[in-house]
A and B are shown apart, each in its own frame.
Chain A
């Protein structure tokens, strides 16, 4: 179950990297949320998983309301991103299962692949909706990664991450005055 959830998280992060439309990005974030929620349910408890689901769901709904109204999955010129998604997945798989030892490999794989792919989305030329979606997934992965040691950091961290993921989705770029 945990292994399937970890795969879903990687697939979701890959979708975020490969999509330009609101539906593709929302689907990616939904997969990341579901993946982390299932993994966290095992190690962090129901409250933590529920917090991630709530925060991720708000972010997904918000994403479905803004951005280009299309799926936009793998537009022309996406080959490099596809290779990147596969490479990050393989790298995360190798590190989480072979370099690191002990229980919790699915969580380590999911956290590392989502971290790697979201930062790749932010560091490559991207539109604000895609970057904000990646940042929502990033917030969830920060909390999930805290459970990698096998001990739960407590529900407060997951609630905080969920609030950040939901809050980031409400941001409207360029509407705030600055000094």
Chain B
């Protein structure tokens, strides 16, 4: 029953918060209570155990469960320490809607259920009032829905030997379109509010979505593992180079953050594509970093970005070090594992990834400065995000064990 509760309770919390929006305190209390219960359901769920209470098989994998717990933690952190300009009840409404969707994606027993959840999430997000048009916001995820559906169909029907290979292309292209990495980068408006921007796809929903799609891909086309891996490594390197260079060179600070997520996803894709233990571990650590540290830091940088108040205090340099993947942060352990995995597989690949890693420093310094001078709740938030990242970097094993690695 836990997977159903993991989906249902946050969804109920989001609906409660939306219905009670004229009474923000009541909305916050109701939504927070239901959201916490949903998170408890995720924590108490047994990975791999199937539940079939609603006629649809639901089961959480260890990796997806770990990412859901991380996302729940990130949501709690950003709501409790939300910037003053952001209304917590609205943040929680959208956060819980996303969390419920993520739980449904993680628990979905079939690719089609996962696809329908992505469709629902994309329509809900696009329907919200925002600067970009409805059509512009829904394009990327809908393209993903179509590509994934076609891929599932190609994987299942009878036909020539190249059909499973086309299915593999469709799955990876669909995943890329849903998350918003190259070559299907979502249109980004720096002035847009975070909830309606592409950031939730790349930094909140994306990690669980990627793990779920790849798990389904392994079941659908087990013979095409090599093709999937090669495509992911290629896309990963492309995203590393493009994301880090663009994050460095772009004029707009918010756009630089968006590109930095893309660069991080490049490493994640490379790690997942390696298909050996070290690569998987590196990818999971990087995903923890995206959800628990990079996303909260982005949210707390928004006000400073609007006011154009960059700063060079030690806290900014620490944030820059974290974003660059320096020791002792989680990114360092992840990069070591990634390089080790790449060396095991094909050493020139490690060289290419290593050269790509050098591109991280200039944009990270810039992003660290963009945090401005954190004060009050923001300072606490930045401190906690950095501390979590250090803990993951120094003691990665419990976090990897949570993900079954």
Contact = CB atoms under 8 A, between A and B. Distances in A.
A and B physically associate: yes
Interface of A: 99-102, 104, 108, 111-112, 115-116, 118-119, 122-123, 125-126, 128, 131-132, 135, 138-139, 141-143, 145-146, 148-149, 153-157, 159-161, 164, 167-168, 171-179
Contact of B128 (A108, A119, A128, A178): A178
22 contacts: A101-B157, A102-B158, A112-B150, A123-B143, A128-B134, A143-B112, A145-B153, A148-B153, A149-B156, A156-B55, A157-B112, A168-B120, A171-B124, A173-B126, A173-B127, A173-B134, A176-B128, A178-B94, A178-B129, A178-B196, A179-B90, A179-B94
Contacts, number: 140
A34 B115 CA distance: 22
A179 B87 contact: yes
A131 B116 contact: no
Contacts of A138: 119, 142, 145-146
Interface string B146-177: 10011011001111100100000000000000
B123 interface: yes
B12 interface: no
B41 to A, nearest CB: 20
Given A142-B115, A156-B55, A108 B157 contact: yes
A24 to B, nearest CB: 18
B265 to A, nearest CB: 23
Given A100-B159, A174-B130, A178-B128, 19 more contacts: A99-B163, A102-B157, A102-B159, A108-B157, A115-B149, A118-B146, A119-B142, A142-B115, A143-B112, A145-B153, A146-B112, A148-B153, A149-B157, A157-B110, A161-B112, A171-B124, A177-B21, A177-B128, A179-B195
A172 B55 CA distance: 30
Nearest to B91: A179
Most buried by A among B54, B123, B127, B153: B153
Nearest to A102: B158
Contacts of B150: 112, 115, 145
B135 A154 contact: no
B231 interface: no
B159 A155 contact: no
B19 interface: no
A116 to B, nearest CB: 8
B14 to A, nearest CB: 11
B113 A123 contact: no
B86 A160 contact: no
B331 to A, nearest CB: 27
B303 interface: no
A123 B163 contact: no
B187 to A, nearest CB: 12
Nearest to A116: B146
B303 to A, nearest CB: 13
Contacts of A111: 149, 153
Contacts of B113: 157, 160
B76 interface: no
A171 B112 contact: no
A112 B128 contact: no
Most buried by A among B86, B87, B149: B149
Contact of A126 (B91, B135, B157, B196): B135
A138 to B, nearest CB: 6
Most buried by B among A99, A125, A139, A173: A173
B157 A128 contact: no
Most buried by A among B120, B123, B138, B193: B123
A87 to B, nearest CB: 16
**A-B CB proximity, top 8 nearest:** A149-B156, A156-B55, A102-B158, A178-B128, A176-B128, A119-B146, A178-B195, A179-B91
